[in-house]
Amino acid sequence: QGMYKYLERCFSDFKQRGFVVGYDTRGQVTSSCSSQRLAKLTAAVLLAKDVPVYLFSRYVPTPFVPYAVQELKAVAGVMITASHNRKEDNGYKVYWETGAQITSPHDKEILKCIEECVEPWNGSWNDNLVDTSPLKRDPLQDICRRYMEDLKKICFHRELNSKTTLKFVHTSFHGVGHDYVQLAFQVFGFKPPIPVPEQKDPDPDFSTVKCPNPEEGESVLELSLRLAEKENARIVLATDPDADRLAVAELQENGHWKVFTGNELAALFGWWMFDCWKKNTSRNADVKNVYMLATTVSSKILKAIALKEGFHFEETLPGFKWIGSRIKDLLENGKEVLFAFEESIGFLCGTSVLDKDGVSAAVVAAEMAAYLETMNITLKQQLIKVYEKYGYHISKTSYFLCYDPSTIKSIFERLRNFDSPKEYPKFCGTFAILHIRDVTTGYDSSQPNKKSVLPVSKNSQMITFTFQNGCVATLRTSGTEPKIKYYAEMCASPEQSDTAFLEEELKKLIEALIENFLEPSKNGLIWRSV
């Protein structure tokens, strides 16, 4: 209802252009409240007000909604999903006419409109409208066909793909991904990936994983790794339940699996997308017109590649909504964006969608692996080559759980008033701090005017420390979970190749960061269980 109220105010042609609604496969048995039911109710509210609604007739990957908004020229769209959150959760993800997730001021204005109409209107519960209204359309076939057609833009080795001896296992984590990843592989000329039978069909209970987040690594990838060993497949691809994120694992010579972090995968994707651009572009194409983006808590590896290769790199606030809206600006100014990512395994190859996309990332990762295989190079070996050329970037990301908002607030307030009021810390243990950026307050000690270049983000906590030894560390709160996250990275120059030293230095710094700034035992923080 709040959405309707706001959109009616913003768009005079709302009732001509319509609205997109998609949903994943979540559901709570006790309340019989599934994503599909919430999607039908969302559609019913708008249909009752004579708004045309493009309601997908079955579950789709999250990126299909922003893609459909752009393709169908709708004013906005909603995806009912809680992505990789625990099974009890659900959520409502809003996309603007641009195809990017909403940013300020839209979010606050929609919230105001929600507050103004909390009573259900007549007709709001009438979900029969979904079956009877002539204003309801099903965009599934059309959007799926267009999406798969657009995928061809980022396929560079179709013939090689069709001949590869590499085998891939794909798990869709009990979510939406299976059918769509199968189709994407077909578009790229691959044989179908081997699905994990226990996880291929939707299951709102996520019954074979302790949590439905592929980011948790080997512990949640157990079934797919065992299947891969049995099938003699060297690469495992895991899409999260709403298929907008991707995890990748590769079997190593020593029989162990390497599960790549989001930052490591981004180093590979960044190298790959630029390499393909170089080999497939016309002679007079200007590298200065090319961009890659990452969120500020993600690895700076793309920055290192950009400096050496001559293209542009830009940072945004955490969250793909900022990346999506920045890409939109760049495209409107005639720029070419090859790749964007956030460290929490969210990747965007190309710009057909303005949000992270696990389906396209999965098939691009497969093509990259198949190409490297022809030269007898593994993904892990190629990652090392990227680091040797552009400089080692060694990072660690983790989190603490904290269910008390006032504790979280006091941890960050203490950092803003460390040894005395309005003074940030100058040291963390024995590590000297060079610069501090506090996006919550808009302060940045590295800028001449002491103001942060990134927009102020008052309703979330985030402080970044740049250390004398070249390490960059960020502490921030999560937007969707009761977590305090920390991110730390050592960025070395290409000539500094002593990885053992870099890793040891990073480890000590993280220990100091936790002990001095987060104080888990004093604050009752719960360590991430590994």
CA-based torsion, 366, 368, 371, 375: positive or negative:
negative
Distance CA 421, CA 415 (A): 10
Distance CA 210, CA 68 (A): 33
- Residue 427, phi then psi, degrees to nearest 5: -135, 155
**Alpha-carbon dihedral 451, 452, 454, 460, rounded to 10 degrees:** -110
- Residue 169, phi then psi, degrees to nearest 5: -105, 135
> What is the residue whose two structure tokens read 């190309």?
350
Residue 350 contacts by C-beta under 8 Å, 6 or more apart in sequence?
Answer: 150, 153, 154, 338, 339, 360
Give me the helix-helix angle, 177-187 and 358-373, nearest 10°.
Answer: 40
Q: Give the DSSP H/E element, type plus range, for residue 23.
A: strand 19-23
* Amino acid occupying residue 78: V
Q: Which DSSP string do the residues of 67-115 spell out, in sequence order? A: HHHHHTT-SEEEEE--TTS-TT---EEEEETTSSBP-TTHHHHHHHHHH
- 292, 306 contact by CB (below 8 A): yes
* Amino acid occupying residue 242: D
The reply to whether 31 belongs to the active site is no
Residue 293 contacts by C-beta under 8 Å, 6 or more apart in sequence?
Answer: 302, 313, 314, 315, 316, 323, 326, 327, 337, 339, 340, 341
Distance CA 242, CA 520 (A): 33
- 135, 52 contact by CB (below 8 A): yes
From the candidates 83, 133, 224, 299, give the one annotated as an active-site residue.
Answer: 83
Residues involved in catalysis = 83
